[in-house]
Homo-oligomer: A and B are copies of this chain.
Amino acid sequence: MQGIHLIADFYDCPADMPWLRRAADLQALCVTQVESAGLTPLSTNFHQFEPGGATGVVILAESHLAIHTWPEAGHVTLDVFVCNYTQDNSARAHDLYRALESAFAPQRKNLTVLERGHHER
């Protein structure tokens, strides 16, 4: 199954963003942006850490979105992985990535784009 995996680390994100601190806000952001990008959320799983920080996963029909936040460090990890089972979802993956990068507004970032599943027979 061919697909694309966007793997990002965001640094120096403004600490006052609610979705950096609270799982409920992160979940609302993720679901909204998944739907805006034209991807299909099947279920969500978000976990609140105290005093702040969250882990969240959206299982997609197309694969998954996973985010971890460390507000005390202004650090976010982001994984957008979509497979191209019935259609090419690469543009949707990039749209989702850009929307989330914009929301977290990192001062610095690392982005790795990994094409997966290309050695399938």
- Identify whether the interface residues of A are mostly helix, strand, loop, or mixed: strand
Q: Report how many copies the assembly holds.
A: 2
Closest to A110 in B: B119
Q: A64-B57, A66-B66 are in contact. Are A120 and B42 (CB under 8 A)?
A: no
List B contacts of A116 (CB < 8 A): 7, 9, 77, 110
Q: Assess the B55–A11 pair: CB atoms within 8 A.
A: no
A75 to B119, CA, bound (A): 10
Q: Which A residues are closer than 8 A to B by beta carbons?
A: 1, 3, 5, 7, 9, 11-12, 42-45, 47, 55, 57, 59, 63-64, 66, 68, 70, 73, 75, 77, 79, 81, 83, 108, 110, 112, 114, 116-117, 119-121
